[in-house]
């Protein structure tokens, strides 16, 4: 039993290792991050000591400013780490599915896309939640609207009464930037009960997934295409 607990603890990374990994990754995207963090920490500590001198409580405010400075630096790193992740994913095939994994159990997104354009590598992912069904399109060119229209016709055969929201990821007018995608999906208003969501998921499983082959150049580790679809 002790050996089992030891193995579990060894597999779980320490918090400081996670912080270091976040720092090194962010630094690869933003080389100035080290000086930015140090500037925030030193600045807050200096303000704390300065205020302490002004009110004649140097020890108290000086001691308080040190953990506050470290906390502010960590929060700044977390913010920049998130932005660096989005920047690294932006433009990659399957990036929208990767960031939607942060939504937790509120939404269910299939690992595989439901539609792919073999020529342009435009892809569409499908999710189900209390707001209904959401189709997430990754558009290289405007022809993705045909993929979305085809998928909506498929859905109409199985879940005609369920509301369908379409979001196209990109930086063009009318599209949703990758960094704002999770927040945009979270803002959708609930329209189904939990029981209705379960029924919709059951019907979609019966409807099946993508029937197209994987296009040439597709990265299967990102799009997570099943071997059945490849065959």
CB 108 within 8 A of CB 100: no
Predicted model pTM: 0.66
End-to-end CA distance of the chain: 45
List per-residue pLDDT tens for the chain, 231 residues long.
Answer: 445 544 544 566 787 788 888 889 888 888 999 999 999 999 999 999 999 999 889 999 999 999 999 999 999 999 898 888 777 777 777 788 888 877 777 888 888 888 888 777 888 999 999 999 999 988 766 678 888 888 888 888 888 888 999 999 887 788 888 888 888 999 999 998 889 888 888 888 887 666 444 444 444 334 443 434 333
Beta strand spans in 22-145 (E): 108-109, 115-116, 123-129, 132-138
- Nearest CA to 134 out of 148, 121, 147, 122 is that of 148
Instruction: List the domain boundaries for the chain.
Output: 2-89, 95-230
Residue 216 has a pLDDT of 45
């Amino acid at each position: 039993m002790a050996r089992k607990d030891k193995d579990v603890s060894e597999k779980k990374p320490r918090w400081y290792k996670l912080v270091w990994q976040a720092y090194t990754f962010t630094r690869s995207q933003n080389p100035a991050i080290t000086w930015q963090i140090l500037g925030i920490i030193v600045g807050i500590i200096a303000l704390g000591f300065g205020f302490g001198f002004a009110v004649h409580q140097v020890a108290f405010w000086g001691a308080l400013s040190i953990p506050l400075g470290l906390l502010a630096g960590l929060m700044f790193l977390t913010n920049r780490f998130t932005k660096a992740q989005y920047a690294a994913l932006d433009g990659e095939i399957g990036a929208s599915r990767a960031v939607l994994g942060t939504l937790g159990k509120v939404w269910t997104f299939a690992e595989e896309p439901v539609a792919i354009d073999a020529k342009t590598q435009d892809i569409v992912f499908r999710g189900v939640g209390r707001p209904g069904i959401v189709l997430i399109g990754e558009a290289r060119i405007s022809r993705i609207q045909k993929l979305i229209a085809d998928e909506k016709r498929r859905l109409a055969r199985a879940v005609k009464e369920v509301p369908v929201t379409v979001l196209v990821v990109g930086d063009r007018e009318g599209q949703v930037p990758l960094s704002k995608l999770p927040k945009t999906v979270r803002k959708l208003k609930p329209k189904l009960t939990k029981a209705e969501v379960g029924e919709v998921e059951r019907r979609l499983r019966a409807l099946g997934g993508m029937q197209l082959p994987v296009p040439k150049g597709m990265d299967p580790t990102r799009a997570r295409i099943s071997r059945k679809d490849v065959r």
